[in-house]
Amino acid sequence: MKALLVLIFGVFCAAAMADEPLPVEQYSYAQHLDIAHVISTSDVADVCAVVPVRMTYEDSKGQRHILEYHVMGNGCSNG
């Protein structure tokens, strides 16, 4: 009975730890990226300025990462 309770408690603890938010890594040009699978990217803002974007991805070891980098917004007109 005690072993069953310990097993159930262990499963709940593992599930709680899996829900921890991932730290956001800031991209730099010197950084080596190991991107095996892109899970999602945030939308680019409709402004004419440089804006942050986040990409969630898995590396070759299956670990999930969130990377923040900067792009030009979609609000600029070329006319």
Rounded distance, CA 54 to CA 15, Å? 25
Q: Delineate the domains of the chain, giving CATH numbers in brackets.
A: 22-79 (2.30.140.50)
Rounded mean pLDDT of 15-23? 68
Radius of gyration of the chain (CA): 19
**% of residues, the chain, pLDDT over 70:** 72
* Confidence bin at 15 (pLDDT 50/70/90): low
**Is the pTM here over 0.85, yes or no?**
no
Q: What are phi and psi of 5, to 5 degrees?
A: -65, -40
